[in-house]
């Protein structure tokens, strides 16, 4: 019998996973985690942050072996608040890898305003000069924008303190002042090496004692990684390599 893999629901990722996964190696299913008997599955993979609590509960109901490696609720709460997480990074010695946090309203340009919560570019505004300046908002914060034509995503699976899967892509955003997401898409995507970003990314996960799957978005500015965000979940650009990810995850369990 093939290993049984249970994914959560995601409107775009579900059909892509169904198309990419090697059906000769794995049997993929999609269902709400609350409605399943977890012992029927060998691996549980949530695809959205809001699926993590149900995935943890399903994993806790399973008998005999681990069926998921997931970040804790406390850690997800920290990372999901982008301002709080940036402050945590600064306080824990990672300020060199965080675009400078600015007073609100800022006194210099350009800057980027970010929603404290959101995904895929939601709530982001790039302000290039005084004529575009906006008003402070308690649900947002402002940073110096990390400029660069290329944005990177690094997918990592960390289990019991070890990296068990790694995948990196480079996005050509064409414009230097850009953030991939709502309204800004890459003109090209290609596999890449994380280069100087790998060491600080691993150090951040070590300091968090992060367990599970994540993706880190960043740019390289003057040879230094500048973190845009850390997502404590399965990232959409991982879909194309889902077979290798699943195989590595099962090996880690």
DSSP state at residue 118: -
**Domain edge (last residue) among 52, 68, 84:** 68
Q: Are residues 13 and 85 in the same domain?
A: no
* Positions of E strands within the chain: 4-7, 27-30, 43-45, 111-115, 125-127, 140-143, 150-159, 162-172, 188-191, 212-221, 224-231
Please say whether the beta carbons of 112 and 229 come within 8 A: no
pLDDT of 125: 87
- Give the per-residue pLDDT at 135: 83
pLDDT at 120: 62
37 within domain boundaries = yes
Please indicate, yes or no, whether residues 82 and 56 belong to a single structural domain of this protein. no
Residue 105 falls within a domain, yes or no?
no
* DSSP code, position 74: H
pLDDT of residue 101: 96
Backbone torsions φ then ψ of 182, nearest 5 degrees? -55, 115
Number of structural domains the chain divides into: 2
What pLDDT, in 10s, does the model give residues 194-214? 999 999 999 999 999 999 999
pLDDT of residue 133: 79
Segment-wise mean pLDDT, segments of 10 residues, the chain, 253 residues: 95 96 97 92 96 95 90 97 98 98 91 86 82 86 94 97 98 86 81 96 98 97 96 96 98 94
Q: What is the mean pLDDT of the chain?
A: 93
Burial class (CB in 10 A: 0-12, 13-18, 19+), 155: buried
Domain that holds residue 8: 4-68
Tens of pLDDT along 139-152?
A: 999 999 999 999 99
- Alpha-carbon distances, residue 224 vs 35, 155, 210 (angstroms): 45, 18, 22
pLDDT at 124: 85
Query: Within this chain, do residues 30 and 87 fall inside the same structural domain, yes or no?
Result: no
DSSP 186-211: -SEEEE---GGGHHHHHHHHHHHT--
Given this model, what pLDDT does residue 210 score?
98
């Amino acid at each position: 019998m093939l290993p049984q893999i249970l994914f959560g629901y995601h409107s775009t990722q579900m059909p892509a996973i169904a198309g990419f996964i090697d059906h000769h190696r794995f049997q993929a299913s999609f269902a709400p985690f609350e409605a399943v008997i977890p012992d029927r599955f060998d691996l549980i993979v949530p695809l959205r942050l809001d699926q993590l609590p149900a995935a943890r509960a399903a994993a806790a109901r399973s008998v005999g072996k681990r069926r998921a490696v997931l970040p804790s609720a406390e850690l997800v709460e920290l990372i999901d608040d982008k301002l709080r997480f940036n402050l945590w990074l600064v306080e824990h010695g990672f300020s060199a890898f965080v675009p400078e946090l600015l007073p609100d309203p800022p006194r210099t340009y350009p800057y980027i305003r970010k929603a404290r919560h959101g995904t895929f570019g939601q709530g982001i505004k790039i302000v290039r000069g005084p004529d575009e300046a906006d008003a402070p908002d308690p649900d947002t914060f402002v940073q110096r924008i990390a400029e660069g034509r290329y944005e990177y995503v690094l997918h990592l699976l960390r289990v019991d303190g070890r990296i068990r899967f790694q995948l990196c892509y480079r996005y050509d955003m064409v414009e230097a002042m850009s953030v991939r997401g709502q309204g800004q898409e890459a003109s090209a995507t290609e596999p890449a090496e994380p280069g100087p970003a790998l060491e600080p990314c691993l150090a951040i996960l070590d300091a968090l004692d992060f367990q599970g799957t994540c993706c880190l978005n960043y740019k390289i500015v003057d040879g230094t990684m500048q973190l845009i965000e850390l997502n404590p979940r399965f990232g959409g650009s991982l879909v194309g390599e889902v077979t290798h990810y699943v195989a590595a995850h099962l090996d880690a369990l």
